Structure 1
């Protein structure tokens, strides 16, 4: 099948606009992750999606270093769970950053969320409450 990395396909049934980050479903998922102290994955993923839209190489370079310091560097405040090899590749990539320089790390956190966080989210009270409120608004 198509192995290409498709942004948040697993959230499709949740937020009707696939790229609509401000959608209620995405907010609820984020709140759930926060309650598990793992919202840095989603935050990193979204920051990278935004990073890819940068057109100025000066801003891209600045932003890449900030993202590295915040999420990639060992012991960083919002460190994501990636392997050392990926960390090193990114460290090299950001010397001359391109829109794709965080792609590998993005794929890793994406599959972590897909395999791990998302199934737990679907069983959570956050999700139940979200469904309840969603059905109330459609019945009005």
Structure 2
């Protein structure tokens, strides 16, 4: 897979915008208990400054109908849009598989580091959280890829997680992403943006 598939310009990315369910939904409202229409309604009413509502209210971040339609063209286009990445994170959280996007995001952050000390610290943090056996957010990696990461932990480089990141990207591209594009969440986002476009 070409490197640019996993390297999206940081200018267009907001890597920390994956929200927790309680950032978006009021406490006590389970992600599985409401349909997507109600979820979107709550999402757009949420007052959290880190919520999608914050992005919607501020015109420079509001996606156009064209933006939302482009998310269906490729995972790369979806992840390069702040609002789109947040919507995808919410969808993955609803399916209890957000560890893949969180790992991908952590790898993107890792690749921006310049000091060796930061690389070592972040590499070990990523390993503890996502790679090692029984890690809290363990991702599915083959032995060879995992072993290469372990071997690089003492002296990591910005490409230490690249192979694993590509595998996780491919997994999202072939599994989670198609489900997102065919989900009620995405359809609801499309219909809302089209309605807003008509009203304006």
> Where on the TM-score scale, by shorter chain, does this alignment land: which range?
0.7 to 0.9
Match in the other structure for 2:2: 4
Aligned residues: CA RMSD: 1.7
Q: Distance in 2 between matches of 1:100 and 1:135?
A: 41
> Per-residue deviation at 1:136?
3.0
Q: Distance in 2 between matches of 1:12 and 1:48?
A: 15
Unaligned runs of 5+ in 2: 9-72
1:77-88 pair list within 5 angstroms = 77-88=136-147
Structure having the higher Rg: 2
> Per-residue deviation at 1:82?
0.9
> Per-residue deviation at 1:81?
1.0
Q: Distance in 2 between matches of 1:97 and 1:111?
A: 23
Q: For residues 48-79 of structure 1, what are the alpha-carbon distances to aligned partners after superposition, in whole Å with 9 as ceiling and x for unaligned?
A: 10111111111110110000000011110011
Q: Distance in 2 between matches of 1:136 and 1:12?
A: 26
> Per-residue deviation at 1:123?
1.1
> Per-residue deviation at 1:31?
0.6
1:13 to 1:107, Cα distance in 2 relative to 1, 3 A: closer
Unaligned runs of 5+ in 1: none
What number of residue pairs does the alignment pair up?
A: 133
1:42 to 101, 119, 123: 101
If the length of structure 1 is used for normalisation, what is the TM-score?
A: 0.87
